[in-house]
Structure 1
């Protein structure tokens, strides 16, 4: 038994590592579903489970801090403050029976909440960490990397014919305006990058790479709690 959602309480192993995916409900252009970040985080966490001793996969947290995307219908954001509180209470409760809690994050907008909640939980002597599902060198949002991931993870949700490029300037260049005015101000179609060239085969490789990095980081965390995990 590796997944919490379908278990009954006597099934729960002693001293598990509880792994909880964290995503968002936000626009991902015309071609990717609103739940993309949650789907990717869940897929990476599930792919890593065989390499994580005593790991138990919890249900995903589907809502995050996505205020920068609220210019698009369908986006639902609970904000950084609420997400921080949610993560703190999740950690306090889960760590009553799970000695370690790992949050696998699929959305960059959740980072501020994670950076606030995890140190607080650690100060309360709860062994909590987080891992970011970031693709080095990948597009910022709904570009080739995320499209490839979704073509592998949930291909039926991808509308390939509707995939078009958005704003392709480096994120550092557009970030000030994005933070001040939201994604729609810099990219009317919601895409930050170009999905051209995406493929399910590339998605398979990316999930495997992310899962491998996650496994390595958890093993280092076991040796050094201040190691590679957030």
Structure 2
């Protein structure tokens, strides 16, 4: 879009918040960013008055630092980026953060709290899934098979650690993902399909759309 196309229009900004980090030996580094961006565009197709911002492709990914390709700006920097970005977006009628990475949850929550304290209209949303399938597993692999099948090396996919995330979270925070799962996978991607991926995207889009419509009505 060009600047004049936004002038005088009552628009709500949807910001994809992603990450650049390992997703096992079979998924691309920008998986979280890809999924968050897709969900923003699906939201914009269902709710009038939504405009999608370029994604934030770096997040808080320190737990993946032992794997090649991971780039992280950390929690404090991400919080600052989100706050300053939305402070600059006062011409919009509000902002929806669509988050694709679990490691972003704490700085995102802090940013939303600060922005609301300042009187800004902000909503944050993140997809949910099975506790034993939280990273580069069945769900994310299926979604990427639907969105970008040429970038999924399914022949390299292997089963990862499948204990529920609450049982792993403390070790993940203190030791990093590699200490828990040498492959970087939390879940089992080996039977992923594009059809399952489309169902997951539809489920997430429906939930996101419902929450945004409720928030706008308030």
**TM-score between the two structures when normalised by the length of structure 1:** 0.91
2-side partners of 1:179 and 1:80: how far apart? 13
> Over aligned residues, Cα RMSD in angstroms?
1.1
Residue 62 of structure 2 corresponds to 67
Distance 2:167 2:113 in 1: 30
Matches within 5 A, 1:57-96: 57-94=52-89, 96=90
Structure 2 residue 103 is the aligned partner of structure 1 residue 97: no
In the TM superposition, what are the counterparts of 1:1-230 in structure 2 within 5 Å? 7-12=1-6, 14-94=9-89, 96-136=90-130, 139-224=133-218
CA distance in 2, matches of 1:137, 1:179: 16
Partner of 2:192, secondary structure, is coil
**Partners of 1:101 and 1:138 in 2: how far apart?**
31
SS at match of 1:88: helix
CA contact (8 A) 1:26 1:76 kept: yes
SS at match of 1:194: coil
CA distance in 1, matches of 2:121, 2:164: 36
The normalised TM-score by structure 2 is 0.96
Separation in 2, partners of 1:80, 1:57: 23
Q: What whole-Å deviation, never above 9, does each CA across 1:89-131 have from its counterpart, x for those lacking one?
A: 011001x210110110000000011111001111111101111
Cα distance in 1 for residues equivalent to 2:129 and 2:69: 25
Q: Secondary structure at the match of 1:142?
A: coil
Answer yes or no: is the 8 Å Cα contact 1:38–1:60 preserved in 2.
Answer: yes
Q: Deviations over 1:46-84 (max 9, x none)?
A: 112121120001101000000000010100000000000
Partners of 1:146 and 1:40 in 2: how far apart? Answer: 9
CA–CA distance in structure 2, aligned partners of residues 29 and 195 of structure 1: 10
Q: Which segments of 5 or more consecutive residues in structure 2 lack a partner in the other structure?
A: none
Give the Cα separation in 2 of the matches to 1:81 and 1:32: 27
